[in-house]
Structure 1
Amino acid sequence: MSESVPDTYAFRVNAELLVPGQKLVTDDLTWAPLATLRIEDDDFGTPALVIAELDDGVTLRIAYGSTVRVAASPPEQTASDAVRLVPTDEETYAEVLAAAEAAHPDDRAVKELVTRLSRGLNVKASSNLQDVRDLAFTLYVDLGDTENALAVCGLITGLGFDGNYGRWNWIQDALSLAAHISHDAGDLEASTAYAQAVRAGDHAESDPLKAKLSAELLQRQLNEPNLYDREVQRAAEADDERSERDWRILRLDTLLYLRAHGGSQTFSDAEIERRIRNELSAIRGLNLDL
């Protein structure tokens, strides 16, 4: 039997990544538990349809690679409310920015980013999405402010993959950071929701040849990640702390993505965790006046 969806607690996931037991959000904003799932190929052997059977016996036919909404019931007072069903409204947007600035009134980087973002959020502009991501990273990495960092991530984590990887990269960064913060806070349900959303664009390519190439590229990114070792070493040897921070942020971003995506054949989960901790410690130890 379908149930009412709790206030805005939902995330998007590719249909083929669904697992039995999850609750699909329907058009009338009720949820329906998933009983079984199978994938059907087209006449050329390419995955084409996801056949989802619900607990009540209803069968849904979903295009392979398309996204569906899945309900996530929130634990008490946790980060789950950042996994939004709908985009952030203007009032909430302004409140999140004001809270971040109020918490760090003397931080120049926070002030500059908040000032730019206060003009409004244009989700079609990569530069706007990057500013949100940069503000979240500044709050968490440099200032250790997990609460406001997670709230800032929530400004864009509710945006779905629209086929534009240039914009999606910044949303994916926010999702990866949110997954990390939630995991550290002990909110494993929210962390899992964010992590699943990270993979929304993995199988979006419908052309079989392009899909194969995209899958190979993704596998290389996961198993042969660029961790900017030479760049970090060069900046450190030159005593260029600002440049070193920038490269280390890119390295940290890659590590958070690897963790959220499910790991790598090259690095164990424990190794990724260790590297994330080391990177956070190294960046925070630079003590730059940003």
Structure 2
Amino acid sequence: MPQRPSPYQPDDPAVRIRNVRAEQVRVGDRFITRHGTPSAEVKKLGVISDSFGTPALVEATLASGQKATIAYGSSIRVHTSAPAPQLSFDDLQSLPVEPESPEAVLLSIAEGYPDEPRVLEPTAGLARGVNLKAGAHLEAIYELAQLFVVDLDDRASAWRILEILTELPFDGNFGRWKWVESALALAAFMAYDGGDLDAAERYSAALRQTDHEESDPVQAKLTAELRQRQLDEPNLFDREIHRAVAARNPRTEREWRLQRLSTLLYLLAHGGSRTLDADELRRRIQHELKTLGAPGERPAWSAS
């Protein structure tokens, strides 16, 4: 079952977590680590050029004394108080893309949302070049598809985005595969919900293919037992959601609910379990979609 880092949210409402290009990192920003927590503040920045004088790396010195290097032009998640750049669809149109490429698909979808920063900002990062071997890019593509289902109620666009991921084969890297797995689970639910039961089963079967990757019989048995426990006793983040509600922190509540939704979709793609059958899972999924605001009125947290 896909497990993600706990959704960190800053206490200060003026502070945001966003993807920025390496050269846009500012003094005072904090990097978001792989565990989902912020690093020490950036105290100093410098640019390292390659042998031909072209900027190659951004070097950041943190308050802790630690140094971090980021490839020039690449994207990184930061905890920042810097205002989001004003981005328009005209800015995206200037990016060169290959016809029928993932970048072209994303740009054509963004054309229908010229005033929606939640679409334009991730598209801007991805349209500069999608790397299907980069987990961060797979995550961004999945989260964009999820946005179209949960917030924008545009499943046609969500399908086009999901197709970028659902055709990818398992390459042995579970860190990357979890995002393909999440895309397959969402696609299976949408296909079933749209009445295409054959497609729903194909997506579910593709998701389950890694259940039998272990070749050692003893290890395979242990893995199967662990998987069954995860299916029967899933973490649906009840405690975290209740805590966020009690603290009146809708942004954090939303992040936990999205994780709950992904878990429910994963369970459904496995046909349910001994504790939650398929019908109950579909009921809970519809409840989460309604709570998150699709379709219907958007809750306050959907405004970034």
Query: Is 1:227–1:254's contact at 8 Å kept on the other side of the alignment?
Result: yes
TM-score w.r.t. structure 2 length? 0.64
Does the CA contact (< 8 Å) of 1:245 and 1:286 recur in 2?
no
| Structure 1 position 213, deviation (Å) | 2.3
For the residues of structure 1 that align with 2:197 and 2:108, how far apart are their CA atoms? 25
Question: What amino acid maps onto 1:253 in structure 2?
Answer: S
Aligned to 1:100: 109
**1:90 Cα offset (Å):** 6.1
Q: Is 1:159–1:171's contact at 8 Å kept on the other side of the alignment?
A: yes
SS of the counterpart of 2:228?
helix
CA root-mean-square deviation: 1.5
Q: Which whole-Å CA distance do the structure 1 matches of 2:211 and 2:128 have between them?
A: 32
Q: Which residue of 2 aligns with 1:220?
A: 229
Q: Is residue 2:240 matched to residue 1:231?
A: yes
Deviation per CA, 1:88-113, whole angstroms, max 9, x where unpaired? Answer: x8624233202321222222221111
Q: 1:123 and 2:132 equivalent?
A: yes
The one-letter code matched in structure 2 to 1:278 is: H
Map 1:268-279 → 2, pairs under 5 A: 268-279=277-288
Q: Distance in 1 between matches of 2:237 and 2:152?
A: 23
* 8 Å contact kept, 1:259–1:269: yes
Structure 2 stretches lacking a partner, 5+ long: 1-97
Corresponding residue for residue 289 of structure 1: 303
CA distance in 2 between counterparts of 1:210 and 1:123 reads 30
Q: TM-score scaled to structure 1, two decimals?
A: 0.67
Question: Unpaired segments of 5 or more residues in structure 1?
Answer: 1-88
Deviation at 1:156, TM superposition (A): 1.1
Partner residue in 1 for 2:173? 164
**Is the counterpart of residue 204 in structure 1 residue 236 in structure 2?**
no
The alignment partner of 1:91 has SS state of: coil
What is residue 42 of structure 1 aligned with on the other side? none
Counterpart-to-counterpart distance in 1, 2:191 and 2:105: 18
Report the number of matched residues.
202
Q: Which runs of 4+ in 1 moved over 3 A?
A: none
Q: Identify which of 141, 147, 156 aligns with 1:138.
A: 147
Work out whether residues 202 and 215 of structure 1, in 8 Å CA contact, stay in contact via their aligned partners in 2.
yes
Give SS of 2:114's match. Answer: coil
> Which of 248, 257, 260 is the equivalent residue of 1:251?
260
Q: Equivalent pairs: percent with the same residue? A: 47
The answer to whether the 8 A contact 1:99-1:148 is kept is no
Q: Contact 1:96–1:148 (CA<8 Å) still a contact in 2?
A: no
Q: Which amino acid aligns with 2:278?
A: D
Amino acid across the alignment from 2:285: I
Compared CA separation, residues 90 and 258, structure 1 to 2 (3 A): farther
